[in-house]
C-alpha cells in the first residue's frame, strides 16, 4: 500500500511565528541598508529563516527575499521540491532543470524580472559554500546590466549570532549528547585499538541519541599526528605509550557544540603535564571574562598572554575559537566571528562560543588541547559542554 500523501503543515524546526519574525527582521535590515531584495544562498540561512532543510545547496539554490512583505521565492532543483514544501514556510518554489546547457542564473533572472527587481539593488550572500565561484561568475554575468549586486556583509549571520530560547534548547540537547559521547570516547581509548574506533564510539552515541551527522569530520589525531590542527585520513593503531588529540562537533537539529580534549596512553611526562596546566588555566581565564561587553579580541589577548608566559608563543594559533550554532556541511564553525586579536565584536547574552586552547609543540612532538562550548549570559558564562577534572591518562 502506498503511503498517504503529505497534506499537513510543514514540519518546521521552530514555530511558524518565530520563522516569520526572523524574516521580518531581515526585511527591516534590507530596508535600513537600502536594498530592494536579498539573494540567499547559505543553507543555514534557509534553515534559520524558513526551516528549509536539505543538502541540495551544493548545486545552485537561491531564495529571493524582498525588502517588502511579498512571499519568499525559492529557486532549486527538482529533488529538493518536496523537502522545501514540507520543511519550510516557503510556498512559491520554482525549479531549474538539469541539462547540458543549464544556467540557473538565467532562471533566477526571470524570477527577479517578474518581481520587478530590474534596476534594483540586491544584497548577495557571499560567504557561503552554497555559492561556488563558478555560480557567482554565472550570476554576475547573467545579471550584469539588469540590477546592481552588492556584498551582504554577513547580514543574516549577524542576525543569527544571538540565539533565541528555542535555539538554545537545541544547543543544550547537543551539549548533553556531546558529554555522553566524550565519556564513550575515553572508555574506548586503549592500546591496540584503531584511533578511528574512537570516532565510531562518538558517532554511535550521537546518532542513537537523536543527533545529526556532524557537518564536518571529527579530529582524532594520535601519535605524531596529534600536533596537526586538522584531521587526516588513514587510521592508526594506538600504542601502549601514545597521545590522542580529540576535537569534534555534535549537532542536534543542525545546532552545533564542540569539544577538545587530550588523552594520554601509558604515562604523562612532566612536559605534557606542564602543557596541560598551561592550557587548562588559560581556558579558565578566557572563560571567566566571557561576559557582556567583553570583545572577542580581549578574549584572544588572554589566550595569547597565557600561552606566551608559559613559553608556547611559537606554537599557538592566530585564533582561539569562534561562534557555533546552525551550520551545514562542510563546517561546524559558524563564522564570522572568530576569536582573534583585535576583533571588536562584543559578547552578548545568547551567543554560543567554542573556546579551544591548542598547543602543537613541533619541537618535542607533544600536543595538548582543551576546549568547551559556552553560553554568554547576563553574568558569568554558562559552560555547556563538560570536560574531565584532570588530564585523561590511561595506563
> Residue 286 is part of a domain; what is its CATH number?
3.90.230.10
User: For residue 39, what are the β-bridge partners?
Assistant: 64, 124
Beta strand pairing call for 367-375 and 219-222: unpaired
Grid coordinates given for 105: 542564473
Inter-CA distances, 51 with 26, 80, 107, 253, Å: 15, 13, 23, 10
278-334: pLDDT as tens digits: 999 999 999 999 999 999 999 999 999 999 999 999 999 999 999 999 999 999 999
In a domain, 303, yes or no: yes
Mean pLDDT, residues 125-129: 96
Number of domains in the chain: 2
Give the DSSP per-residue string, 70-94.
PPPEEEE-GGGHHHHHHHSS--EEE
Q: Is a pLDDT exceeding 90 seen at residue 72? A: yes
* Domain hosting residue 262, numbered range: 165-394
Reduce the DSSP state of residue 356 to 3 states and report it.
strand
In a domain, 10, yes or no: no
Which residues have a Cβ under 8 Å from the Cβ of 15 and sit 6 or more positions away?
166
- Continuous segment of H or E residues that includes residue 244: strand 242-252
Longest dimension (CA), the chain: 70
Query: Among 125, 171, 154, 148, which Cα is nearest to 376's?
Result: 171
Quote the mean pLDDT of the chain: 96
Do 96 and 198 lie in one domain? The reply is no
157-174: pLDDT as tens digits: 999 999 999 999 999 999
Q: Is a pLDDT exceeding 80 seen at residue 8? A: no
User: 195 and 235 in contact (C-beta within 8 Å)?
Assistant: yes
Residue 2 pLDDT grade (very low, low, confident, very high; cuts 50, 70, 90): low
Do 148 and 274 lie in one domain? The reply is no
Mean pLDDT, residues 232-239: 94
Residue 1 pLDDT grade (very low, low, confident, very high; cuts 50, 70, 90): low
User: 205 and 199 in contact (C-beta within 8 Å)?
Assistant: no
Do 29 and 178 lie in one domain? The reply is no
Do 155 and 175 lie in one domain? The reply is no
Do 224 and 284 lie in one domain? The reply is yes
For the packed helices 270-288 and 296-309, what is the interaxial angle rounded to 10 degrees?
160
What does the alpha-carbon distance between residue 388 and residue 178 come to, in Å, rounded to a whole number? 13
In a domain, 8, yes or no: no
30-39: pLDDT as tens digits: 999 999 999 9
239-275: pLDDT as tens digits: 999 999 999 999 999 999 999 999 999 999 999 999 9
Task: Look at the chain and count its residues.
Answer: 395
187-215: pLDDT as tens digits: 999 999 999 999 999 999 999 999 999 99
What does the alpha-carbon distance between residue 122 and residue 149 come to, in Å, rounded to a whole number? 5
Do 129 and 68 lie in one domain? The reply is yes
Give the residue from 160, 180, 211 where a domain finishes. Answer: 160
Inter-CA distances, 306 with 4, 162, 185, 301, 345, Å: 61, 28, 28, 9, 21
What does the alpha-carbon distance between residue 266 and residue 241 come to, in Å, rounded to a whole number? 5
Do 60 and 118 lie in one domain? The reply is yes
Residue 3 pLDDT grade (very low, low, confident, very high; cuts 50, 70, 90): low
Query: Among 229, 205, 208, which Cα is nearest to 219's?
Result: 229
Do 35 and 93 lie in one domain? The reply is yes
Do 100 and 185 lie in one domain? The reply is no
Do 324 and 240 lie in one domain? The reply is yes
In a domain, 3, yes or no: no
Residue 276 pLDDT grade (very low, low, confident, very high; cuts 50, 70, 90): very high
Beta strand pairing call for 73-76 and 319-323: unpaired
329-385: pLDDT as tens digits: 999 999 999 999 999 999 999 999 999 999 999 899 999 999 999 999 999 999 999
- In this structure, how many other beta carbons lie within 10 angstroms of the beta carbon of residue 323? 22
In a domain, 7, yes or no: no
Give the residue from 120, 138, 160 where a domain finishes. Answer: 160
Do 128 and 208 lie in one domain? The reply is no
In a domain, 293, yes or no: yes
Residue 10 pLDDT grade (very low, low, confident, very high; cuts 50, 70, 90): confident
The DSSP secondary-structure symbol of 171 reads H
Give the residue from 97, 132, 160 where a domain finishes. Answer: 160
96-116: pLDDT as tens digits: 999 999 999 999 999 999 999
Do 154 and 188 lie in one domain? The reply is no
Amino acid at each position: 500500500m502506498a503511503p498517504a500523501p503529505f497534506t499537513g503543515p510543514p514540519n518546521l524546526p521552530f514555530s511558524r511565528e518565530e520563522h516569520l519574525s526572523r524574516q521580518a527582521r531581515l526585511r527591516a535590515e534590507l530596508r535600513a541598508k537600502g536594498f530592494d531584495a536579498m539573494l540567499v544562498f547559505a543553507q543555514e540561512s534557509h534553515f534559520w529563516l524558513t526551516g528549509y532543510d536539505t543538502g541540495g545547496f551544493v548545486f545552485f539554490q537561491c531564495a529571493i527575499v524582498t525588502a517588502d512583505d511579498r512571499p519568499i521565492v525559492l529557486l532549486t532543483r527538482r529533488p529538493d521540491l518536496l523537502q522545501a514544501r514540507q520543511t519550510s514556510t516557503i510556498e512559491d518554489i520554482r525549479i531549474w532543470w538539469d541539462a547540458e546547457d543549464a544556467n540557473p542564473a538565467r532562471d533566477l533572472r526571470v524570477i527577479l524580472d517578474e518581481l520587478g527587481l530590474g534596476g534594483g539593488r540586491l544584497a548577495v550572500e557571499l560567504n557561503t559554500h552554497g555559492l561556488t565561484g563558478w555560480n557567482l561568475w554565472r550570476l554576475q554575468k547573467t545579471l550584469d546590466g539588469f540590477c546592481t549586486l552588492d556584498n551582504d556583509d554577513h547580514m543574516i549571520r549577524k542576525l543569527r549570532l544571538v540565539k533565541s530560547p528555542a535555539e538554545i534548547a537545541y544547543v543544550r540537547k547537543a551539549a548533553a549528547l556531546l558529554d555522553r559521547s566524550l565519556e564513550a570516547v575515553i572508555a574506548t581509548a586503549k592500546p591496540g585499538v584503531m584511533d578511528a574506533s574512537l570516532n565510531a564510539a562518538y558517532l554511535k552515541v550521537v546518532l542513537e541519541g537523536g543527533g545529526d551527522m556532524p557537518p564536518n569530520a571529527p579530529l582524532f589525531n594520535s601519535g605524531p599526528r596529534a600536533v596537526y590542527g586538522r584531521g587526516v585520513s588513514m587510521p592508526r593503531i594506538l600504542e601502549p605509550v601514545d597521545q590522542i588529540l580529540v576535537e569534534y562537533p555534535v549537532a542536534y537539529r543542525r545546532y552545533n557544540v564542540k569539544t577538545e580534549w587530550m588523552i594520554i596512553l601509558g604515562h604523562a611526562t612532566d612536559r605534557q603535564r606542564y602543557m596541560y596546566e598551561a592550557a587548562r588555566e588559560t581556558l579558565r581565564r578566557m572563560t571567566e571574562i566571557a561576559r557582556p561587553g567583553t570583545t572577542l579580541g580581549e578574549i584572544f589577548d588572554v589566550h595569547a598572554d597565557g600561552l606566551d608566559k608559559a613559553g608556547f608563543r611559537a606554537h599557538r594559533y592566530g585564533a582561539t575559537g569562534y561562534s557555533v550554532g546552525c551550520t551545514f556541511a562542510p563546517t561546524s564553525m559558524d563564522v564570522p566571528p572568530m576569536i582573534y586579536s583585535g576583533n571588536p565584536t562584543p559578547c552578548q547574552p545568547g551567543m554560543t562560543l567554542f573556546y579551544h586552547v591548542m598547543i602543537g609543540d613541533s619541537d618535542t612532538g607533544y600536543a595538548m588541547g582543551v576546549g568547551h562550548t559556552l553560553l554568554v549570559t547576563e553574568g558569568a558564562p554558562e559552560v555547556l559542554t563538560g570536560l574531565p577534572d584532570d588530564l585523561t591518562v590511561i595506563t
